[in-house]
Structure 1
């Protein structure tokens, strides 16, 4: 497994649970040390138990590619962050491909290189395959290639790996696809065998559809708020249609995290490079970017000019059960509040260390009650279970001005961004 980040580490631990011998190649020595000691460098439910069982046994981390020649499969699990123009940055994929190819020169027997990173369609065939084969010199006949996208939800990634909706294997040669599929032996799931480009596109299309459902729900929610309609009642009715389903129809502050924003943006750039104009995808991003600002505007309607006001923000992670603040709607709201002259007190059960790296100059608190005390308003930005029972804590504010970016509270005087 090349890359010990979120996808690489979770996948490695789960492959080890399935009985495979797994080596993680990771350039960050601190991560290597943590993994080998059984301590996950990220928070993910169930990951600590897997590492404690398998680290030092059939799961090891290293900063060297020396393990490649003796392996049957190598999975590329490196990041593909958005570049300044929104395109996926494939530099780490290229680097991993060069290193794998170089070390495969000395290997023997059939080896399959599997791309698990989210990459634009055409990347495996136009970048990974030629790079690996150029570096491997002379081993082109016994190296196969496959594309195996991941569909892991943060906070539920271990469960999703072991109980997937589907396993997608893209390949040009049946043997390469067969070996990639064999890694999942023991998991009861439909397996979809497709071409390499189709597998790459399935990942992008899946995330774009989820993002579209969220932005659609938020757009409808904004209209419902103007009409004094409970959008959650509306979406319950909509979601009962089996053609639509209730999933990802929760109106609120929008989507964030490491996948949906960057993948939709990358798909937009790809479409534009082909001469297409992806109107719908552009609108998905536009609606999503407006939502945090709508929440701040609603706050101004409630308490007036924000300059000099103190606001509590509860929840910093982009979603519950994770410490990930990448593209978090809470961070965007905090930056908006600061720009308008408000001071911010914040609390999150897990994400404060990561949030400090992005916004170091606000007050971080040890509890929701501490954050709310003396504030002019409170904003709920992440659906943490512990926030659901908050009520009397809001009496510690100057007045009970409570706005939700996620529908989690049970107190009746809370108002939502679009309900």
Structure 2
């Protein structure tokens, strides 16, 4: 802002003024400001003044119309607003544009921050430049788990404090997953924040809606693999005939680890992410096929136990997940485990046609778009899911398995 010629001598408060162009000679305009900034001024202000100044400095623009500022303050705080305007002006933090009415009275029209970031820091708010540096550093973090990279991408453009808090959660979660840890919410919160209650409810919802807490090794109960298959499992205590059960059942990792021999065969191994779809397929196909429920981004113990079982009764594997970006990532993770075990696999009901057949679809969210961009450059994802990826990108929508029929 120009502080050269055209300014008057300073008044008793050190404020200068200059004439501004006006549309009418009868409606004069002027600008007032102090040429030096006093960063210590807030220490002498009443608490109410500081609170209102903080409201203003948090605005999205450097210039604010006085009419709107007064409207936001309301009648009960109009006098306070005038006091704060004068205090900011006399501290050199703002320049005020005024207009003179027919009676010769000057009234504010707008004000502009001289150095908003410096003013915010003087009021005790976080240094915006430092926050941006911290966010840039956190955003460049490399994650060992690909799910977390997409979650981090989805934090772009979010409020600084929220983004930094969640970047820290993701970094702690990456360590948790790399160490293969299991535990309760409170145990993870302690690991992530040093406090068993250190994560907000909104942060838990964010994690659970994106990747499902159970798949992160964060839960409450003893985990189990839900399945139905025409197999007989030999255990130290006897033989468990899965074929004698007319519905699905759950087996703990310890039970599956204790299996010494598997009798029988399956035509296909069918792995389904959605619980309702799994139960539908298990009832319809479980007498011939092995049907497993995949709890979202399956934890390492699930993949280890499921692969061990399927290797003892080898058959082609079909993986069905939600036709959405997260579903593709989930299917790829399980598919990679199948590849490593020598089990041939392919997607099931995860084509563009399946997404289009759904009567209800949802718009892609921030996480979905970030994940979709990553999948679009992943050769394995393009090889297996090119049609679905293109359909989601072009249509901007995703789907859920519940709308598909897995009985045939």
Higher strand share: 2
The structure whose Rg is larger is: 2
TM-score tier (shorter): under 0.3
TM-score after normalising by structure 1 = 0.24
Query: What's the TM-score, normalizing by structure 2?
Result: 0.24
